[in-house]
Amino acid sequence: MLKDKEELLHQARLTANKMRKNILLMTHRAKGGHPGGCLSATDLLAVLYKCFMRIDPQKPNWPGRDYFFLSKGHSVPALYAILIEMGFLSEGEVEDFREMEGRLPAYPSCEDTPGIDMASGSLGQGLSVANGAALAAKLNGTDQRAYVLLGDGELHEGQIWEAAMTAAHYKLNNVCAIVDYNKLQLDGSVEEVKSLGDLKAKWESFNWHVLEIDGHDYEQIYQAFVEAEQYRKGPSVLIAHTVKGKGVSFMEGEAGWHCAAPTDEELTKALKELSRVC
Amino acid sequence: MLIAPREAYAQTLVELGTENKDIVVLDADVAKASMTVLFQEKFPDRFFDLGISESDLICTGAGFAVAGKLPFVNAYANFLLGNGWEQIRLSICYANKNVKIIGHNIGASSGKDGPTHFSLEDIALMRVLPRMTVVEPADGLEMKKAVRAIAEHVGPVYLRVGREATPVVTQAEDEFELGKANIVRQGRDLTIVACGVMVAKAVAAAEELTAAGIEAEIINMHTIKPLDRDTLLQSVQKTGAVVTAEEHSVIGGLGSAVAEFLACSRPVPLRIIGSPDKFGICGTYEQIHQAFGLTAERIAQAAKEVLEQKKP
């Protein structure tokens, strides 16, 4: 079992490296997108998809699937990148990001893209959607799980806290929220724009099981997903401390990379850095 | 005979609940007013009260639809669509989810609760959304058919449900098909296009007009979107004049939908009867209708105006 885990995490690391390259290729080619918040969430998505999600690329709408909702829709290149690695999309489709043709619009569209169950782009809605899918699974008596990735700035949205109450009230132990806590949003640092205060205490006071982790530490990510699944009393949230732009030295911790495409030169430099890692 | 649309809605929902186990009902702390409490009593496992959080309600409904359920989400129309509009736009319409949005206490049917609780803008808010079907049955009898029809229809639907008991003007044997208007009464002189409780008032107006030698054709446009253009055009080609009537603002509702179509296809003299572009007041349902001019008399008067205008 342990060996399996090590092998899985090794695969997840390789996957994350490929994802990072594709995220940069997509945003570079499209001359747009949000690479910073994609790179901060990459390791979380790689572990979730490679180790936990029960899905079938041959049957994206398989009724027994686990659900993943990207509530922070602007990070969709990271989602496309993992869907390429999982076989839902093909490698060549990175060229279609934000293009009129193809299946990779600027924000998630469930109509266009296999493996995506819900559109997003307007922030604050994904946790409610996850609750709905999780309630349906409960009603059906299945053990399907609903995962949702939230941005830290997104937590300003009131609907998140409406949904947090709903999940706790209905004791949705099949809901797992992940906060990509990279501390930066469009206008600057989250602390300066509107502080989240004691985020752990906030979720705990809403009766959530809170797991605070380093969102780039594969052991911690893996363990947190296991513990979230094992916790039976209600919903779990992973507060994942991350670094915006993680993996590309000149992008790390820079709010400017929330919404900016790399130039030719920056792309070359970034890809070179990533090639040294794997 | 009088039937409250909400009662007809809730009773039919209970019937459907027996027939279709995928139906789930969500409410936002108004289950007694919406009468979805009837469904709750029969199917407690498939009823979810999310409390006073309409945005959450809409998206939770969308999540149920992702998982293959058939959700009916209920709240007072004004709060549901006002608080949840962007959620409806993205998570239901753009995402193309099979969710039934049920707006209660539509129009002025909140009565003495007053303007904060009225819903006179809801048709406009829903009609502008791509993929949305907008339905307002003429009476409680037609409501029962409409609830079944929207459950069958795959795609987003907005259903307007009134609180007060209103006259039954349709017949049990009348067919009901989404997007297919029903001709309530034939006539040669002008066309009255109405929805909801205003169909009954149109019938009363037509009787008044007959006494004056004017024969009005009445179209019950129970589906406001997609508008039944064929039935409308056929009637207007015959009559050459139109009056619309709805329990909704004169801006953006049935009248606007009819005007948008006819202005491009067959411009004819037209009057739009609806609530004026201002907020309402507290009062009984009937008092407010009088104050807004949502009356048979006003329809009849408008009919005479368009007839005057169409004279060569």
Which ipTM value was assigned to this complex? 0.97
* CB half-sphere exposure, A248, CA atoms < 13 A: 28
**A139/B90 touch (CB, cutoff 8 Å), yes or no:** no
How close B63 comes to chain A (CA, Å)?
4
CB atoms within 10 A of CB A201: 10
**B68/A128 touch (CB, cutoff 8 Å), yes or no:** no
pLDDT at A3 (0 to 100): 66
- Whether omega for the bond prior to residue B226 falls within 30 degrees of 0, making it cis, is yes
B72 phi and psi angles, rounded to 5 deg: -110, 115
**B94/A146 touch (CB, cutoff 8 Å), yes or no:** no
Angle at A103 between CA A98 and CA A106, to 5 degrees: 30
Residues of chain B contacting A110 with CB distance shorter than 8 Å: 95-96
**B91/A162 touch (CB, cutoff 8 Å), yes or no:** no
Separation of alpha carbons B213 and B92, rounded Å: 49
Q: Structural domain tally of chain A?
A: 1
Residues 6+ apart with CB under 8 A from A129: A69, A71, A118, A148, B59, B60, B62, B63, B66, B91
Reduced to 3 states (helix: H, G, I; strand: E, B; else coil), residue B29 is: coil
How close B297 comes to chain A (CA, Å)?
46
Domain that residue A228 falls in: 2-277
B47 interface with A at CB cutoff 8 Å: no
Domains of chain B are 2-167 (3.40.50.970), 182-310 (3.40.50.920)
How close B124 comes to chain A (CA, Å)?
21
Only one residue has tokens 């206008």, namely: A187
**A166/B56 touch (CB, cutoff 8 Å), yes or no:** yes
How close B90 comes to chain A (CA, Å)?
7
Query: E-assigned strands of A134-270?
Result: 146-151, 175-181, 184-185, 188-189, 209-214, 236-241
Separation of alpha carbons A57 and A88, rounded Å: 5
Closest CA to A97 of A112, A111, A118: A112
Per-residue pLDDT of chain B (312 residues; tens, 9 = 90+): 999 999 999 999 999 999 999 999 999 999 999 999 999 999 999 999 999 999 999 999 999 999 999 999 999 999 999 999 999 999 999 999 999 999 999 999 998 999 999 999 999 999 999 999 999 999 999 999 999 999 999 999 999 999 999 999 999 999 999 999 999 999 999 999 999 999 999 999 999 999 999 999 999 999 999 999 999 999 999 999 999 999 999 999 999 999 999 999 999 999 999 999 999 899 999 999 999 999 999 999 999 999 999 988
Compute CA distances B187 → A27, A77, A186, B119, whole Å. Answer: 63, 60, 62, 32
Enclosing H/E stretch for B160: strand B157-161
Residues 6+ apart with CB under 8 A from A48: A68, A147, A178, A221, A225
Closest CA to A78 of A41, A48, A47, A108: A41
Spans of chain A, pLDDT less than 70: 1-3, 278
